[in-house]
Amino acid sequence: MDFSSEIWFRTSRSGGKGGQNVNKVETAVEALWMPAASRFFTDEEKARIAEKLAARMNEEGVLVVKCTEARTQLENKEKAVAKMHTIVARSLVVPKKRKPTIIPRAVKEKRLNDKKVASQKKEMRRKPTGE
């Protein structure tokens, strides 16, 4: 699942740490990847990725991951690729189907019986009416 060869990068000036270099060096990195054109995934996997990551993709269907954490461009590239790998891996996980459970009759009867007992207990605490 190493689709790193299909990722391309865009750099820009980054805010934050960096001292005097912050206004001169392009350290912010955007990793871009087009899942629909990938050769590493099946059509079903591509559809799952597109569905799960639709909010992270632009209108051309390109997945964009930005990283500005580190001071160097190389570190930011590595972090962006790692981030993209984890995002894609999470999107490919198929959730288990939920099996609806049936509450046993004995459990239902016990609950109703407990309610009756509690109700009678409270009824006994009341002051008697003059009837």
Q: Tell me, rounded to whole angstroms, the distance of Cα 75 from its chain centroid.
A: 24
For position 19, what pLDDT does the model report?
A: 64
CB 43 within 8 A of CB 83: no
pLDDT tens-digit profile, the chain (131 residues): 578 888 899 988 877 666 666 667 788 899 999 988 888 888 999 999 999 988 988 889 899 999 988 888 899 999 999 999 999 999 999 889 999 999 999 999 999 999 999 999 999 998 887 66
Side chain identity at residue 5, one-letter code: S
Q: What is the pTM of this model?
A: 0.67
**What gap in Å lies between CA 83 and CA 26, rounded to an integer?**
20
**What gap in Å lies between CA 79 and CA 12, rounded to an integer?**
16
For position 5, what pLDDT does the model report?
A: 85
Instruction: Retrieve residue 113's tokens.
Output: 């019986």
Domain ranges of the chain: 4-91
Side chain identity at residue 83, one-letter code: K
For position 13, what pLDDT does the model report?
A: 82
Q: What kind of architecture, by CATH, is found in domain 4-91?
A: 2-Layer Sandwich (3.30)
Q: How many Cα atoms within 13 Å fall on the side-chain side of residue 102?
A: 3
